[in-house]
Structure 1
Amino acid sequence: MAAGVRAPASGVLFCLGALLVGWVAAGLEAAVVGEVHENVTLHCGNISGPRGLVTWYRNDSEPVFLVSSNSSLPPAEPRFSLVNTSSLHIGALSLQDAGNYTCQEVLSQTRWFPVWLQVASGPYQVEVHISTSGTLPNGTLYAAKGSEVNFNCSSSSWPPPVVEWWFQAPDSSIEPFGNNLTVSCFTLLLMSQNLQGNYTCLAKNVLSGRHRQVTTELLVYSPPPSAPQCWAEMSPGLLMLQLTCRWDGGYPDPDFLWTEEPGGVVMGTSKLGVEMLNQSQLLDGKKFRCVGSHIVGPESGASCVVQIGSPSLLSEPMKTCFVGGNVTLTCQVSGAYPPAKVLWLRNLTQPELVIQPSGHYLITQNGQSSTLTICNCSQDLDKGYYVCRAENPLGVREVDIWLSVEEPLNIGGIVGTIVSLLLLGLAIISGLMFYYSPVFCWKVGNTFRGQDMSDIMVLVDSEEEEVGEEDATEEEEAAANEREELPKEIHKHVHIHRVTALVNGNTDRMGRGLQALQDDSSEQQNDMVQEDRPV
């Protein structure tokens, strides 16, 4: 009996398989999509009203019995059952359940209804991989500006999903990345600041319409383009020194570390780069180093050094101002860091009162050079010491400047006095020259008169008794004694006149002049002798 039943069933299945092949080729089958691990129901035609005997088959290489409304035929698996005595219900679908199914209905006649079941899986476990520079503690990715970044999206899905990428910049709406980009991976060659934002990978199953997406935030960081700058300054309202370090132009802000040099003793770290020093840390010439570090490099960071110093002063010790005039006192500060504050004070009348700019006092400062200009000088008000004071947290230095106020000088009287002294000196020199060098004077006279030296006779009167003159006198006295034979020696005081004549080399004229002089001298001697004789 059982054998008789199997034989007709085999023949029926063979005929059914041949018929279904024709239907599938003609595209008359219904399509149903189910998802893995889900349940699906396949309807046996779109017919209302009473139904006949329904049997479901799976069409692979040959038809396979699944379930029948005939209660004497048990289902092939517990997952298969009939709903409303006609529809096939499959529970816990798997990918292997996909394929062609046939519903056979026997009522007044036998009808076949083909169904194509497609099983979709996923997408599950959508994974996004971005080759970035690093990851922050909260999981946010970051890339360095100008770097190359690879994007890849993967998902377990059947059939393989369609992948789309979407991008949303800060404070902007989401938009597709590129023109209908459906590839799972791409590369950005040069990252820039406008590419910072949220990247979304969307994986979609075209069968089930189910989709999953993963959004990843990507930040674009850039180190500061230049070296850090650091300086020291007096803290406002406090007697402390403030060290400040700046390294601008990067994103995000760098971290700062202050150390004492030498030795590298850490003073503190901060995002602001500000460090306060107390009085015990303020030593002349001491150095402090600021090291700035950025998340994208450089690895060793960048640094700058501040060296503090007390001020030194340089100024002229004395200045002079004429009554009613102006004078400028200059004070030059050097070696002061942080820059010193320069004040001007009076040292005599009001030593503790700082001079304030006014119409009488003009104060200007150019860098570390300060000037005090006093207008319309007065002896009563302005004469005396002035103090230039320079102070910074490392010390105070002062220098005194003496200002003398004098009456204006009489220039005309000074010039007249100088000229008079010059003329007087010239007269004295000329008198000395005339007294000690008559020949020179004679030559000078010739120069002015234009005469020749050979035409001048110079008479020299000398009262000195020279040796040659004494001999001539003795010979004359001896001759006179022999002639007159006087009883005793006669003492005479003789004036001898020497005449020298140089007249163009004329010796005759010179002789005649000499002879005339001798005759005159002899006559004077005779007169004197006779006067001395006794009576």
Structure 2
Amino acid sequence: MRVPGWSPAALLLAACLWRLPPGRGAAGTEEVIVGEAGKSVVLVCRNVSERADEVDWFHGDPGAVPPLFSSNATLPEDARLSLVDNSSLHISALRPQDGGNYTCKEVLNKTVREHRVQLLVASGPSNVIVSISPAAPLPNGTVYVDKRNTVMFSCTSNSHPEPTMGWTFQPPSSAPETFTEVNGTSTVYTLQNLSLRFQGNYSCTARNPLSGRSQTSTKELLVYYSPPSVPRCWAQTAQVGLMLQLFCNWPGGYPHPVLQWTEEGRDLENSSWVVNATGTGDTHVETLSSSRLLHGKEFKCVGSHILKQGKAETTCTVQIKAPSLATEPLKTCFVGGTVSLTCQVMESNPPARISWLRNVSQPEVEIQPGGRYLVTQEGSVSNLTIQNCSHDADEGYYVCKAENPAGLKEAYVSLTVKKPVNIVGVVGAVVVLLLLGVLVISGIILYYNPLLCLKGSIFRNQDSDDVFVLVDSDGEGEEEEREEEEATGNSNVHQVTALVNGNSTQAGYGYHFTESDSSELHSELSTEEVEREERLTTQRQIFPFLAEMDGTVGGS
């Protein structure tokens, strides 16, 4: 068999050298060399004499494999192999399969010396890749995550043998911190409940234990979170000039949201148009001129956040309204007293500025607090307090003026200043007149009917329905009552008429009693009525006492 590039003499010499056994007393040494794949390495043949006849290199033990390279023979050419100083083996562009045991054999005066070298070929680390999920990339390569998510960090590499892999975290403006290290070609860990303090650079480093070579891959991580609520909108008047300012506030997110004001229109083709450029920040302010017809217009703020992309819009609205007022049109103040004029804004957006004016002919002259005037405002209610009222200086019309960028509203209050009235004298006169009226009425009653207390029912028998009535009358009354009693025969009431004698003395009145024929009454009355008639006869005996009592009253 003919090997290309080899002559017959070279083949014969190589075969002889390969089969040449080591001589007695041959010395051997061991050495370990580490090389990196893709690079060059030199395997040194130790203790080689400069007078050596031949130096051969074997990839393995001599006698087991043919020579790899010889200084005295022409072997198949391998551009990667060469001799240095006619003894050391130079291997370029190392490959993993080049690793193993190498033997250097020296022949000097038929004496063989061997030197063994172990070559270890290290590969990598390479292709170190850091992965963070779930995460989204930014244009500059930085990734961001939602702090509510559980985030997984992984790192892989190619290396022979297996590398040592470690993670380091470097917060902004701080030194890096190593927090985990493992042996292998990959490593994984997770983080939960992230916050802003977890923002920073995450680096994965793979180190080859043979070559000591390392490679690092770094990713910058940002922790984002969206605002927890919805935007809040309001309107107010600019401090300088009568300008309308629209405020949209959506705090609590990172990074700042994007806020955009739009004006709602009725045109279907242009249902909404951008008021001005979009602003980035927790609060976006849009300033509009009051020259527009703003009353009733509705503005909408649209908020967007990087974590809410693809979701429904988050908005808030505000409607602009011109002011409307409510006042007390008529007020009165006494000279030297104090009065308060009240003006309330019932409706206004943005809140209206309230001012008081005194002179209607000069409406721009505003009443300033100080002296006798005190202007206070609580919410939408303004009060103008005038102290020590004066008829000449204070009586007249006052103007309450409310103004916002959507419009102006004025209301008039008429103030009347009067002289004070003696209230104590008026009340005293009324009380005196009432007392006099009561006394006059009481005198009239006592004068015309002095015996009013004696009239009425004197005696009432609980067992009988008979009633005695004492009547002060002349003689005609007695006859009329007797005729009525005879007309009502079933009556149970016996009337007794006491006639007052006109010739009676001061000692008392004389009383005469008249009654019907008892025999006729007994024939018509029942037994019960007869008993009542007897009790009546007994009760008549007490009338002398009544007569004495009546005479005493009359005498007095």
Q: TM-score per shorter chain, which class?
A: 0.7 to 0.9
Letter in 2 for 1:265: W
Residue 83 of structure 2: SS of its match in structure 1? strand
Look up the match of 2:286: 275
Question: Distance between the aligned counterparts of 2:41 and 2:419, measured in 1?
Answer: 122
Q: How does 1:333-344 map to 2 (within 5 A)?
A: 333-344=345-356
Shift of 1:48: 7.3
- 1:225 is displaced (CA, Å) by 2.1
- The reply on whether 1:125 has 2:136 as its aligned counterpart is no
Aligned partner of residue 310 in structure 1, secondary structure: strand
1:49-448 matched pairs, under 5 angstroms:
50-59=51-60, 62-70=64-72, 72-75=73-76, 77-108=78-109, 109-178=111-180, 184-261=187-264, 263-268=271-276, 269-272=278-281, 273-279=284-290, 281-297=292-308, 299-348=311-360, 351-419=363-431, 421-422=433-434, 444-447=449-452
What residue number does 2:544 align with? none
Mean Cα deviation higher: 356-365 or 281-290: 281-290
| CA deviation after TM superposition for structure 1 residue 232, in Å | 0.8
Distance 2:75 2:392 in 1: 134
Tell whether the 8 Å contact from 1:51 to 1:86 is kept in structure 2 after alignment: no
Aligned-partner SS, 1:335:
strand
Secondary structure of the structure 1 residue equivalent to 2:286: strand
Aligned-residue sequence identity (percent) comes to: 48
Q: Deviations over 1:428-464 (max 9, x none)?
A: 9899xx7xxxxx888633226889995745799xxxx
Q: Return the TM-score normalized by structure 1.
A: 0.76
Question: What letter corresponds to residue 174 of structure 1 in structure 2?
Answer: P
1:464: which partner in 2? none
SS in 2 for 1:236: coil
Query: What is the distance in 1 between the residues matched to 2:183 and 2:255?
Result: 31
State the 1:92 CA deviation: 1.8
By how many angstroms is 1:4 displaced? 6.5
Give the secondary-structure state (helix, strand or coil) at the position aligned to 1:253. coil
Q: 1:168, 1:289 → 2: CA distance? A: 43
C-alpha distance in structure 2 between counterparts of 1:289 and 1:350, whole Å: 40
Matches within 5 A, 1:449-468: 456=472
Q: Given that residues 66 and 76 in structure 1 are in contact (C-alpha distance below 8 angstroms), is that contact kept between their aligned partners in structure 2?
A: no
Structure 1 counterpart of 2:226, one-letter code: P
Residues 1:282 and 1:204: Cα distance change in structure 2 (over 3 Å): farther
Q: Give 1:476's aligned residue.
A: none
Q: Assess if the C-alpha contact under 8 Å between 1:293 and 1:300 holds in 2.
A: no
Is this contact kept in 2: 1:232–1:244, CA < 8 A?
Answer: yes
Tell me how far apart the structure 1 counterparts of residues 403 and 47 of structure 2 sit (CA, whole Å): 103
For the residues of structure 2 that align with 1:443 and 1:244, how far apart are their CA atoms? 88
Q: SS in structure 2 opposite 1:445?
A: coil
Once residues 267 and 230 of structure 1 are traced to their aligned partners in structure 2, the CA distance between those partners, rounded to angstroms, is 15
Deviation at 1:102, TM superposition (A): 0.4
**Gap change, CA 1:64 and 1:193, over 3 Å in 2:** farther
Amino acid at match of 1:372: L
CA contact 2:125–2:159 (8 Å) conserved in 1:
yes
**Equivalent position amino acid for 2:451 in 1:** N
Query: Could you say if the C-alpha distance between residues 155 and 427 of structure 1 is closer, same or farther in structure 2, counting changes exceeding 3 Å?
Result: same
Q: Which of 17, 20, 29 lines up with 1:9 in the alignment?
A: 17
Name the CA shift for 1:230/1:181 in 2 (closer, same or farther; >3 Å).
Answer: farther
| Structure 2 length-normalised TM | 0.73
Q: Is the 8 A contact 2:334 2:417 kept in 1?
A: yes
The gaps in structure 1 that reach 5 residues or longer are 435-439, 461-499, 509-535
Q: 3-state DSSP class of the match of 2:449?
A: helix
Unaligned 5+ segments in structure 2 are 1-7, 266-270, 459-468, 477-496, 501-509, 515-556
User: How many angstroms apart in 1 are the aligned matches of 2:411 and 2:12?
Assistant: 134
**Residue deviations 1:165-187 (CA, integer Å, cap 9, x gap):** 11100111111134779862211
Contact 1:346 1:352 in 2 (8 A): no
Give me the whole-angstrom Cα distance separating, in 1, the residues matched to 2:14 and 2:172: 72
The structural deviation recorded for 1:389 is: 0.8
| AA at the equivalent of 2:131 | H
Q: Which residue of 2 aligns with 1:495?
A: none
Q: Alpha carbons of 1:7 and 1:138: their partners in 2 closer, same or farther (altered >3 Å)?
A: closer
Supply the RMSD in Å over aligned alpha carbons. Answer: 3.4
Equivalent residue, structure 1, for 2:32? 31
- 8 Å Cα contact 1:143/1:191 also seen in 2: no
Aligned pair in 2 of structure 1 residues 110, 354: CA closer, same or farther (>3 Å)?
Answer: same
Say which structure is richer in helix: 1
- The one-letter code sitting in structure 1 at the alignment partner of 2:344 is Q
1:421: Cα distance to partner? 4.9
Shift of 1:267: 2.6
Contact 1:458 1:501 in 2 (8 A): no
